[in-house]
A and B are shown apart, each in its own frame.
Chain A
Amino acid sequence: MPMIEIKHLRKEYREGSKSKVALKGLDLELEKGDIFGFIGPNGAGKTTTIKMLATLLIPTAGAASIDGIDVVKHPEQIRSIVGYMPDFFGVYDDIKVWEYLDFFAAAYRLPRDKRPGIIDEVLALTDLTEKKDSYVESLSRGMKQRLCLAKTLVHDPKVMLLDEPASGLDPRARIEIRELLKELQAMGKTIIVSSHILPEMEEFCNKIGIIEQGELIVAGDVNTIARQVRGQHNIDISIVEDLPRAMAILEGMTDVVREVKITSGVRGSRRDEQGTQADAPSQLLQKTDTSGRGGVLQIGYVGEPDFEYLVLQALIQNGVKVKAFYTPETDLEDVFLRVTKGHVA
C-alpha cells in the first residue's frame, strides 16, 4: 500500500462568484521512505496541494489518503501522523525555545514525563541545543526555520510535509537544512518538500514532480527525470576561432547533443553587419575577429553527465580551440521554458 495516495485532487478557490482553479486533478503515489521534491514556480499550486494533505484545506474534488487514511474523512487521525511546516509562519512572543517545543509536545498529547527528553532530542537534531533558553523572537531566520522543523518532529510523524523549508535562507543555512533533511531521510520518514529550485533537491530526493499552473507536468524517479531534464540542461562552450567548424562537429553528435546555438559570437557579427563606422575601436576588434570567427556556443546535452568530457574531447581532437567548457547553473525557469515547450512531457 502506498504511503501517500492522491487521486484526481482538485482545488478551486472561490473569488466572489467566480472560482479560480489552483489545482487541476493531481495524481500521485509515494511509497514509505520516499523523499518527494515538489517543484514549481510561484502560484503553481504547491502550497495548495500540501495544505490539502495537511488537512488545512478541503479539496474541491478528488481524494487523498495518507497511510490509508482519507484526509477529508479523518482529519484527526491524519494530524497525528503528519508533520507540517508551512511556508510562512510566526512564533509566539515572550516564549523560550524549550517552552515553545514543550507547548507543541503537550499539544500533541505526549506524556508529561517524556517531553523533556524529546525536546532535547529534537533540539540536538536541529542543532539548537545551546539556544534552549533563548527567547524565540531573538532567533535568526534560519534558526527559526530549524525551530519550526524541530516542532514538526516533536510527535515523530511518519510523513512530513515541508513547504519551502529553505526559502529566504543564505547558502550556508540552506546547506544546513539540506543536511537535516538527509538525516530525516535516514530516519525512514516519508517527506514531501516543495521548492522553486531544482538542483538543491536532486541530492536527497528520490522522486520529483514538476508542477505548473495546477498541473503536474512531470513526475517520477529522480534519475529518470534528471536525465530528461539534463537533456535540456545547457553546456556553454567558448571557442577562440572557427565557429562554423565547431558547430558542424557538434551537430554531428546527434546522440548526445541537441540544439546547437550561437550565443555571444552572433551578437558580435551582427553588429559588424550593421556597419557602425562611428565606433572605431570596436570595428577594429570585429575585424580581428572575423578572420577566426570565435564566440560562445550553447548546446543541449542529453547524454550521461559523467560523459560530458567526450564532447570536449571530440572538439579538441578535431583541432577546435576551446577556451572554456562549462555548465551554467540550471534554474527552474530554464527547465520550465523547455518543459512547457513539450520537451519532457
Chain B
Amino acid sequence: MSVFSRLIPDNPVLTKELRVRMRGSRAYWILLGYLGFIAVLVLVRYNSFQSAVTSIGAGGSASSSIGTELFNWIMIPQVFLVLFITPAITSGSLTIEREQQTMDLLTLTRLSRRGIVLGKLMSAVSFTALLIISSLPLISICFMLGGVDPLQVFSAYMMMLAASVLIGSMGIMWSSAARTTTQAVMLTYFTLFLLFLFVYGSFMQGLTQKFAPTGLPSASETAFNALSQSWFGNQFIGFRVPEGFGFAVFSLLCGTLMTSVATARIEMFPDRKAGTLRALTLLLISLQAFSVANWWVSAWYHRGSRVVMTAVQPPIGAMIIPCIALLLLVPIFATGEVASFEAQRIGKYLRWSFSPAGFKRGKLGSGIPFLAVATLVTVCAYWLAFVPVGKAGAAFHSGALSLGLPGLPPPAPININGQPGETVTVTGQTMSISRTNGSAVTATKLPNGGIQVNRTDPNGMATVSILTNWPVDMPVMPPPPPASTLVAPQTGDMLQATVALLATIVGFGLFCVLCSVAFRSRWVSAVAGYVLLAILWIVPDVSTSYTTSMKDTSIWANLGYLNPIQVFSQICEPANYWQNRFLMFGHTPMWQVCTLAWGALSVLFLALILIFVRIIAKENAPIPYEELVQLA
C-alpha cells in the first residue's frame, strides 16, 4: 500500500462507485461529448466574432467584450449540464440499491448511513468536478481575449461546484424517499425546476434593482433583492468575498441538510436522527436571516459604496425571507402521527415532547415548540444584524421611521443642489457632496429617510459619495397632521412583528397538527398545509386588486390578515399600504388583527385536536416494541 492511497478517505462506497463509473470507455465518451459540445459552441461564436472584426475592423475594446461573451457562452451550457448530470447520477443511487436488493447487505455492514450517503454524493460530485475542470483550458481563450478576470472564473467554478453538491444532495434526498428510481428522478427534476424558477426570479430581481436604483420597490421586492445580494453579491455577513460566496455557503449547508435527511431516512429509526435535522435547519434559517438583515441594515445606514442602492424601507422587511422559509417549514415539522398509546397519556406525551429528549426525536408533539424556537432564533439573528453597526437598539423601532399618513399627500422631497466640496445644510444636518467630474450633482432626500441621487451627467459617469454619515435614524419629520384627518396608524417594529409571526406559526402549526390527527396521514396533512398557505398567499392579493371601494370588498381580501407578510409590508410602507386596500377593520395595524385572528383560530384548532386525540386514544392499538424500549 502506497503512502498516497492512505491519504484517500477509506469510504468503500466511494471507491466502488468511482471504480465502476470510470470502468470501460463510457466515462471517456461522456467527457468527450461534453467537451466537444462546448468546444463547438466556442468555435461558432469565435468565428462569427472574427468575421465581424474583419468586416468592421473593431478595435481592442471589442476583444475584451467578446472575451466576456465567450465566457458566458462556455459557462451557461456548463451550468445546465452540471444541473442535469448530477441529479441523474444521484437520484437513482439509493433506489437502485433497493431495486437490485443490495440495500440490506449494505446496511448490515459497519458503514454508517452517513458514510453511504456521502460516498454516493462524493462520487457524483467528483464526476461533475472532473467534467467542469476539464473545460478549464477552454476558458484560457477568454483570458487571451481579455474581459474576464481570474476572480470571476473562480467565482463561477465555485458556484458550479456548490450547485452540484446542492442538486446532488437533493437527488439523494428524493432517492431515499421515493419507492422507485423513476419516481426519484421525476421528483428531483421537478424540484430542480421549482428551485430554478425561484433562484432565477430572485437573481433577476437583483439585476433589475441594480440597473434601476431610483425606483421604489415594495418591501417584498426589496426582501428578494436582499436575498439575491446575500447570495450573489460581494458582501457576506459583513465580509468582502468573491461573488457567489453566499450562494456557495448556503448550497453547502442546504446540501448537508438534505444529505442528513437522506441519512435519517435510510436509518432503522428515522426519527432518532430528528435532532440533527432540526439543528441544521435552525442554523440554515438563522444564517440566512442574519445575512439578509445584515445587507439591509448596512444598506439602510448607507455603508460603503451602496449609496446609490439605498434600501428605501426599514430593515424589518428583511424578516420577510425567514418568515417565508418558516411558513414553508411548518407543514414539514408540524405533521406526523400520534399513536394511540401516546394519545392515552397525552399529558405525559406533551411534557416529554417539550424536553430536550423530545426535541431530538421527531415526534409530532415537539414540532410546534421547535417552530416557535426557530422563530425566536430567527428574530435574534435579525436583531444581531444591528449589532455590528452599533445600533442594537434601533432594531426595535426602525419601522417607526416610516413617514406619511393615510389621506395626506406625501411630503415634498428636499432637493440638495451642491457644488464640489460645498457643504449643504438640510434641516439642521450636514452633508457634503463631492463629484469626480465637472457635472452638477443633485441628491434628493426621500420622505422615508433614503437619498435619491440624481445624476445629471448624460454619460452616467459621475460618481457620488457622501462624505459624512447621513444620519438616517433621525429622519425629517413631516408636519403633524391636522386634527381633522385620519388617526395615524400605529405602526410598530420588531416586537410587534415577532408577536404576529409567532402567532401565525403556532396557529398554522396547530392547523397542520389538526390535519394530522384528523386525516391520520402525514402526506395528506402536509399537502393540506401547503394548500392553505397558497390560498393565504395568493387569494387576498388577487381579491384586493379587484376591489376599488369599501363597498365591494369581499371576505377573501380579509384573508390577508392571516398572512404575516402583509404585516411586514404594512410596517414597512405605512403610507402606501392602505391605498386601494379596504379591509374589515379599517386601518387597524395588521399585526394586531393578525395576532388576534390566529389566536382565536388556535383555540378552535386546539379544541378540535383534543376531540380527535380522544378518538385515537380509544383505538387501543398495541404499543410498538421500540417505544416500550424507550419507555422502560
Known: A72-B625, A72-B629. A99 touches B16 (CB 8 A): yes
- A residues within 8 A CB of B12? 102-104, 106-107
- B residues within 8 A CB of A307? none
A235 in contact (CB, < 8 A): no
> B275 → chain A, closest Cβ, in Å?
18
A72 and B13 alpha carbons, distance in the complex (Å) = 26
B105 in contact (CB, < 8 A): yes
Tell me which of A54-62, A184-192, A325-333 binds B: A54-62
B625 touches A89 (CB 8 A): no
Known: A86-B104, A92-B16. A73 touches B629 (CB 8 A): yes
A89 touches B110 (CB 8 A): no
B19 touches A99 (CB 8 A): yes
A95 touches B109 (CB 8 A): no
B220 in contact (CB, < 8 A): no
B106 in contact (CB, < 8 A): yes
Interface residue ranges of B6-52 to A (CB < 8 Å) = 6, 10, 12-13, 15-16, 19-20, 23-24
Known: A95-B16, A95-B19, A107-B111. A89 touches B104 (CB 8 A): yes
A247 and B16 alpha carbons, distance in the complex (Å) = 69
Interface size, A (range): 35 or more
- A residues within 8 A CB of B104? 56, 84, 86, 89
- B residues within 8 A CB of A151? 105
Residue in B13, B100, B108 whose CB lies within 8 Å of A79:
B108
> B442 → chain A, closest Cβ, in Å?
71
> B29 → chain A, closest Cβ, in Å?
15
A164 and B111 alpha carbons, distance in the complex (Å) = 26
Interface residue ranges of A75-95 to B (CB < 8 Å) = 75-76, 79-80, 82, 84, 86, 88-95
Fill in one digit per residue for A89-127: 1 if any B CB lies within 8 Å of its CB, else 0. 111111100010011101111001100000000000000
Residue in B20, B107, B624 whose CB lies within 8 Å of A95:
B20
A113 touches B622 (CB 8 A): no
B1 in contact (CB, < 8 A): yes
- B residues within 8 A CB of A99? 16, 19
Residue in A79, A88, A102, A104 whose CB lies within 8 Å of B101:
A88
A106 and B15 alpha carbons, distance in the complex (Å) = 10
A104 touches B109 (CB 8 A): yes
Known: A103-B12, A107-B12. A79 touches B109 (CB 8 A): yes
B620 in contact (CB, < 8 A): no
B3 in contact (CB, < 8 A): no
Interface size, B (range): 20 to 34
A141 and B381 alpha carbons, distance in the complex (Å) = 61
> A82 → chain B, closest Cβ, in Å?
8
A56 touches B105 (CB 8 A): no
Kindly report which residue of chain A lies nearest to residue B520, judged by CB atoms. Answer: A17
Please indicate which of the listed interface residues B6, B100, B110 has the most CB atoms of chain A within 10 Å of its own CB.
Answer: B110
A86 and B625 alpha carbons, distance in the complex (Å) = 24
Residue in B23, B105, B109, B626 whose CB lies within 8 Å of A94:
B23
A113 and B2 alpha carbons, distance in the complex (Å) = 10
> A3 → chain B, closest Cβ, in Å?
19
Please indicate which of the listed interface residues B12, B24, B100, B109 has the most CB atoms of chain A within 10 Å of its own CB.
Answer: B109
Known: A72-B625, A112-B10. A89 touches B20 (CB 8 A): no
- B residues within 8 A CB of A59? 625
A93 and B97 alpha carbons, distance in the complex (Å) = 11
Known: A75-B268, A151-B105. A94 touches B110 (CB 8 A): no
B110 touches A60 (CB 8 A): no
Fill in one digit per residue for B258-296: 1 if any A CB lies within 8 Å of its CB, else 0. 000000000010000000000000000000000000000
- A residues within 8 A CB of B268? 55, 58, 75
How many pairs of A and B residues are in contact by the CB < 8 Å rule? Answer: 85
B625 touches A61 (CB 8 A): yes
- B residues within 8 A CB of A79? 108-110
- A residues within 8 A CB of B437? none
Kindly report which residue of chain B lies nearest to residue A56, judged by CB atoms. Answer: B104
A88 and B100 alpha carbons, distance in the complex (Å) = 10
- B residues within 8 A CB of A54? 108
B625 touches A113 (CB 8 A): no
Known: A99-B16, A99-B19, A103-B15. A91 touches B102 (CB 8 A): yes
Kindly report which residue of chain B lies nearest to residue A84, judged by CB atoms. Answer: B108
A79 and B112 alpha carbons, distance in the complex (Å) = 12
B102 touches A89 (CB 8 A): yes
Interface residue ranges of B574-632 to A (CB < 8 Å) = 622, 624-626, 628-629
- B residues within 8 A CB of A108? 109-110
- A residues within 8 A CB of B20? 92-95
A61 and B268 alpha carbons, distance in the complex (Å) = 17
Please indicate which of the listed interface residues B13, B23, B102, B625 has the most CB atoms of chain A within 10 Å of its own CB.
Answer: B625
> A170 → chain B, closest Cβ, in Å?
22
Residue in B10, B108, B625 whose CB lies within 8 Å of A106:
B10
A56 and B98 alpha carbons, distance in the complex (Å) = 13
- B residues within 8 A CB of A113? 1
> B358 → chain A, closest Cβ, in Å?
20
Fill in one digit per residue for B317-338: 1 if any A CB lies within 8 Å of its CB, else 0. 0000000000000000000000
- A residues within 8 A CB of B16? 92, 95, 99, 103
B626 touches A89 (CB 8 A): no
A104 and B101 alpha carbons, distance in the complex (Å) = 15
Interface residue ranges of B407-459 to A (CB < 8 Å) = none
4 tightest A-B CB contacts, nearest first: A90-B100, A106-B12, A107-B109, A90-B101
Chain B interface (Cβ < 8 Å from any Cβ of A): 1, 5-6, 10, 12-13, 15-16, 19-20, 23-24, 100-102, 104-111, 268, 622, 624-626, 628-629
Question: Can you spell out 29 A-B residue pairs with CB atoms less than 8 angstroms apart?
Answer: A55-B268, A56-B104, A58-B625, A58-B626, A62-B625, A72-B626, A76-B110, A79-B108, A79-B109, A80-B110, A84-B104, A86-B104, A86-B105, A90-B101, A90-B102, A91-B100, A92-B100, A94-B20, A95-B20, A104-B12, A104-B109, A106-B10, A106-B15, A107-B109, A107-B111, A112-B5, A112-B6, A113-B1, A151-B105
Chain A interface (Cβ < 8 Å from any Cβ of B): 12, 54-56, 58-62, 72-73, 75-76, 79-80, 82, 84, 86, 88-95, 99, 102-104, 106-109, 112-113, 151, 155
- For the complex with contacts A73-B629, A95-B20, 8 further pairs of A-B residues with Cβ separation under 8 Å are A55-B108, A59-B625, A62-B625, A92-B16, A92-B100, A95-B16, A112-B10, A151-B105
